[in-house]
């Protein structure tokens, strides 16, 4: 009997690998609703957007798997909603910005994950551990904020690791509930269109998630999942300032998968 389990990394869409009697390839696509938040010593920005998700998993009969995941979405952010907002990043005075409550926002995430899974055939509980590479990019426009730059980008990349478990419902006939927890060791770079660039010290953050997977047939199914990710970055800013920026993302998504 095939069982499904959930694995997850920092800032990536949840990916699904199965423990089965045979090696398999799993393709998944879906959509999500995400809330993004920046806080700390710079702009206080929030955005709600709807990313598209895609992923591909190669799983062996030994339980080893490799997973590729990508998400991409666009929306609006409100980081410049308050005129002349005082921030440490701008010298504890203000960035001398005009009020602009709605600017363009873009976010993408990618991950390459390697993991191992184990199925307890007595109770159907599946567990997994993973490690991998994860990165992402946030673009914040400032077209109407009357500042020197037209947009900024926040790039992150690092190593993620963690584990999870899934629990069958009615011996798997009604699907499975999954939980997962991960940590990441990440670095970040902040840039804008004037040529400004600042690098962050290495930071540690976390991700957690929960999911429900329902197999419609032996080779096709759907899943709903919730993920929360958070990191705090400390940048060596211009003017010998240290700027702290916290990034948080929460996502509720739905995917469909097919196995070969």
pTM: 0.88
pLDDT for position 240: 85
Rounded Cα distance between 80 and 28, Å, is: 36
Q: What's 64-81 look like in SS3?
A: EEEEEEEEEEEEEECCEC
DSSP label at 134?
E
Mean of the per-residue pLDDT values for the chain? 89
**Are the beta carbons of 81 and 99 closer than 8 angstroms?**
yes
Q: How many CB atoms lie within 10 A of CB 172?
A: 18
Q: Which residues pair with 211 in a beta bridge?
A: 178, 225
- Give the chain's domains with CATH numbers: 3-259 (2.40.128.100)
Nearest to 128 by CA among 16, 230, 211, 26: 16
Please report, rounded to a whole number, the percentage of residues in the chain having pLDDT higher than 90.
78
Rounded Cα distance between 192 and 27, Å, is: 36
Give the least confident one: 20-29, 99-108, 169-178, 220-229: 20-29
**Are the beta carbons of 43 and 80 closer than 8 angstroms?**
yes
pLDDT for position 2: 36
Measured CA distances, 73 to 34, 50, 96, 252 (Å): 9, 6, 29, 14
Residue 246, pLDDT > 90, answer yes
Which tokens go with 254?
């739905």
Give the least confident one: 71-75, 116-120, 150-154, 246-250: 116-120
């Amino acid at each position: 009997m095939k069982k499904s389990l959930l694995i997850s990394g920092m800032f990536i869409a949840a990916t699904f690998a199965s423990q089965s009697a045979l090696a398999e390839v799993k393709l998944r696509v879906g959509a999500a609703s995400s809330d993004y938040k920046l806080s700390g010593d710079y702009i206080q920005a929030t955005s709600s957007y709807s990313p598209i998700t895609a992923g591909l998993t190669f799983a062996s009969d030994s339980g080893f798997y490799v997973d590729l995941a990508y998400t991409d979405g666009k929306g609006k952010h409100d980081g410049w909603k308050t005129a002349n907002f005082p921030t440490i990043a701008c010298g504890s005075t203000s960035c001398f910005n005009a009020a602009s409550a709605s600017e363009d926002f873009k976010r993408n995430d990618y991950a390459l994950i390697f993991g191992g899974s184990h199925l307890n055939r007595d109770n159907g509980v599946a567990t997994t551990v993973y490690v991998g590479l994860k990165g992402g990019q946030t673009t914040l426009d400032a077209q109407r904020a009357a500042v020197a730059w037209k947009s900024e980008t926040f790039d992150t990349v690092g190593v993620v690791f963690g584990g999870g478990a899934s629990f069958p419902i009615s011996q798997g006939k009604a699907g499975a509930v999954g939980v997962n927890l991960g940590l990441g060791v990440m670095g970040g770079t902040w840039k804008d269109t004037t040529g400004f660039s600042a690098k962050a010290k290495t930071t540690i953050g976390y991700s957690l998630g929960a999911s429900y997977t329902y197999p419609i047939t032996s080779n096709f199914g759907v899943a709903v999942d919730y993920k929360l990710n958070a990191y705090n970055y400390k940048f060596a800013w211009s003017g010998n300032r240290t700027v702290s920026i916290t990034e948080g993302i929460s996502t509720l998504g739905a995917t469909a998968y097919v196995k070969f």
